[in-house]
């Protein structure tokens, strides 16, 4: 990567430059605590230079025809595919994700870049001929200007690729502030953007933390802000951005439920519950963290425990490892505190991963699979997002009770139902108050020609990520009402048009 020794460079005005930062943040391997590099906190002058550069680049880029923008995205997805393995290795080392999981992270981002290559058809406006006599009306979608993205640690390839390819394809310029916990992957994505032919200034990457974020989201030249992260940060960014008259989409917390009907296939249920709850160490906003066992499905809990007990975390290049470590010692301690609190509040811990050890990496942030039963909605382990490999089980007598439980939850990111009944699935999808619903699919993240549509406290804003809604978010609609006079026409004083 193009960096000074042990320190990432800022990517400003098309160049990787040595930062003048007076403060740097160590980036560590969460499995070993080895310091991989440092992320420099961008100075006020670096931020200003990046924004001015992005504004100047926007003035040129918005005039580039949409087919040319589409071809740039086609070229970029080709470069990303060529380097998918390299990106995944970088991602694994700084997040701890298994290599297979890291490759999936990169691939889901590539799919969004492919969607961005459809920008010409996605930006088609509307038209009506003869809205009045000899008057036509039509609309265009036009880019906004400088857009900013603030992305989380858990998907350092996929989430940035949710944002800037769509924004840039629509004719905007973009400034990315990636997570300070794993900024190497987004920096590599920027290097590959240069290789793909991105014009100078349409993509900038600045490193830092909340101080740099606040500078970006309050700057007068910034028009739109995209964010994925915690509830507290999402609320802050949404309030601050909108108070400064920015357009904001902020994806926040989650507490995702899987409803298990007694007619479902037990083996499929157990396999999918395990993968969706402890995969990626539970550090996914779409992870299943609550299983709602309906009726006799509650009898499967012991089998679920036995299967979870066979799952183990490990190093990124261990093909037998199911998932990696928590991103930081602080994240591990937070998960452990929830496990302890669950026990204190009276839940039964059927499987406790608090003392998990990985012999080849004793200093890693390891938490083993953890399963709680006898959980009530009043308990902290149910109410709050744990963001670790912890699954809690609640029971319901009927499907309607399960639906009521989920609808009362303040989050609405994703949910799923496992059943053999089409009627039950139809009833569930119709009445559930959650943005993304899976039917015999545990983590219903849509492909990019749909949109990622969290509800309630899982999302603040109006237009969601990727798909058609992203195009709407990154553009403004201009409506034109047009009349052309014919020399043979005459107009009366009341402007009525008389045709020959």
Query: Distances in Å between the alpha carbon of 20 and those of 23, 43, 64, 288?
Result: 9, 7, 34, 43
Residues 171 and 293 in one domain: no
Residues 385 and 239 in one domain: no
Would the pLDDT of 4 be above 70?
no
Q: Region 330-339: what's the mean pLDDT?
A: 98
Question: Which of 394, 297, 379, 373 lies closest to 338, judged by CA?
Answer: 379
Residues 98 and 172 in one domain: yes
Would the pLDDT of 350 be above 60?
yes
Question: Residues for the chain: how many in total?
Answer: 500
Q: From CA 308, how far away is CA 295, in angstroms rounded?
A: 22
Higher pLDDT, 194 or 500: 194
Residues 430 and 323 in one domain: yes
CATH number of 293's domain: 3.40.309.10
285 classed as catalytic: yes
Q: Region 90-107: what's the mean pLDDT?
A: 98
| Position 40 in a domain | yes
Q: Region 71-97: what's the mean pLDDT?
A: 98
Residues 247 and 304 in one domain: no
Provide the whole-model pTM.
Answer: 0.95
Residues 333 and 224 in one domain: no
Would the pLDDT of 496 be above 80?
no
Residue 175: strand pairing partners: 148, 204
For 262-316, how does the pLDDT look when each residue is reduced to its tens digit (9 = 90+)? Answer: 999 999 999 999 999 999 999 999 999 999 999 999 999 999 999 999 999 999 9
Residues 146 and 274 in one domain: no
Residues 306 and 388 in one domain: yes
For 121-130, how does the pLDDT look when each residue is reduced to its tens digit (9 = 90+)? Answer: 999 999 999 9
| Position 1 in a domain | no
> What's the pLDDT at 494?
53
| Position 488 in a domain | no
For 152-179, how does the pLDDT look when each residue is reduced to its tens digit (9 = 90+)? Answer: 999 999 999 999 999 999 999 999 999 9
| Position 446 in a domain | no
The catalytic position among 24, 41, 147, 285 is 285
> What's the pLDDT at 6?
85
CATH number of 194's domain: 3.40.605.10
Would the pLDDT of 499 be above 60?
no
Would the pLDDT of 3 be above 60?
no
Q: Region 34-50: what's the mean pLDDT?
A: 98
Residues 240 and 305 in one domain: no
Range of the structural domain that residue 337 is part of: 256-410+414-439
| Position 423 in a domain | yes
| Position 485 in a domain | no
In three-state secondary structure terms, 468 is: helix
Q: Which two tokens stand for residue 355?
A: 């003392």
In three-state secondary structure terms, 49 is: helix
Would the pLDDT of 451 be above 60?
yes
Would the pLDDT of 139 be above 90?
yes
Q: What is the mean pLDDT of the chain?
A: 96
Domains in the chain, number:
2
CA angle 282, 287, 290 (to 5 degrees): 100
Q: From CA 207, how far away is CA 456, in angstroms rounded?
A: 30
Q: From CA 143, how far away is CA 138, in angstroms rounded?
A: 17
CA-based radius of gyration for the chain: 25
Residues 403 and 314 in one domain: yes
> What's the pLDDT at 495?
46
| Position 353 in a domain | yes
In three-state secondary structure terms, 38 is: strand
| Position 447 in a domain | no
Residues 114 and 203 in one domain: yes
Residues 57 and 183 in one domain: yes
Q: Region 390-419: what's the mean pLDDT?
A: 98
């Amino acid at each position: 990567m193009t960096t000074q020794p042990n320190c990432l460079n800022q990517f400003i005005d098309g160049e990787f430059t040595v930062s003048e930062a007076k403060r740097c943040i160590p980036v560590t391997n969460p499995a070993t605590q080895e310091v991989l590099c440092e992320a420099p906190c961008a100075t006020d002058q670096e931020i200003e230079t990046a924004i001015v550069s992005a504004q100047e680049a926007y003035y040129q880029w918005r005039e580039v025809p949409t087919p040319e923008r589409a071809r740039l995205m086609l070229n970029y997805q080709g470069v990303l595919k060529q380097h998918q393995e390299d990106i995944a290795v970088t991602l694994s080392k700084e997040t701890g994700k298994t290599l297979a999981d890291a490759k999936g992270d990169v691939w889901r981002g590539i799919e969004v870049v492919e969607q961005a290559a459809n920008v010409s058809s996605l930006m088609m406006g509307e038209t009506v001929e003869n809205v009045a006599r000899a008057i036509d009306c039509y609309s265009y979608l036009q880019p906004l200007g400088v857009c900013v993205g603030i992305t989380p640690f858990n998907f350092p390839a996929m989430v940035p690729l949710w944002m800037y390819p769509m924004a840039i394809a629509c004719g905007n310029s973009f400034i990315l502030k990636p997570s300070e916990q794993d900024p190497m992957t987004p920096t590599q994505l920027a290097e590959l953007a240069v290789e793909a032919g991105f014009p100078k200034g349409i993509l900038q990457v600045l490193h830092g933390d909340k101080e740099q974020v606040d500078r970006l989201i309050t700057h007068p030249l910034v028009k739109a802000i995209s964010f994925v992260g915690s509830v507290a940060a999402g609320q802050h960014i949404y309030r601050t951005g909108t108070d400064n008259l920015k357009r904001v989409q902020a994806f926040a917390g989650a507490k995702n439920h899987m409803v298990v009907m007694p007619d479902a296939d037990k083996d499929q249920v157990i396999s999918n519950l395990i993968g969706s709850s402890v995969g990626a160490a539970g550090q996914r906003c779409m992870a299943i963290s609550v299983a709602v066992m309906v009726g006799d499905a509650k009898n499967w809990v012991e089998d679920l425990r036995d299967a979870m007990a066979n799952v183990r975390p490990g190093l990124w290049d261990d093909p037998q490892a199911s998932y990696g470590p928590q991103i930081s010692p602080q994240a591990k301690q937070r998960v452990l505190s929830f496990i302890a609190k669950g026990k204190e509040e009276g839940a039964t811990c059927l499987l406790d991963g608090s003392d998990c050890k990985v012999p080849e990496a004793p200093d890693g942030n390891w938490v083993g699979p953890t399963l709680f039963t006898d959980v009530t909605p009043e308990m902290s382990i149910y109410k709050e997002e744990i963001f670790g490999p912890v699954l809690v089980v609640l029971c319901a007598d009927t499907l309607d009770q399960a639906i009521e439980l989920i609808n009362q939850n303040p989050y609405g990111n994703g949910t799923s139902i496992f059943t053999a009944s089409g009627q039950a699935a139809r009833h569930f999808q119709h009445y559930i108050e959650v943005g993304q619903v899976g039917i015999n699919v545990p983590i219903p993240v849509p492909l990019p020609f749909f949109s990622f549509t969290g509800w309630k406290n899982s999302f603040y804003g109006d237009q969601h990520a990727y798909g058609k809604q992203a195009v709407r978010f990154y553009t403004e609609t201009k409506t034109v009402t047009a009349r052309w006079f014919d020399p043979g026409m005459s107009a009366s004083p009341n402007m009525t048009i008389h045709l020959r």
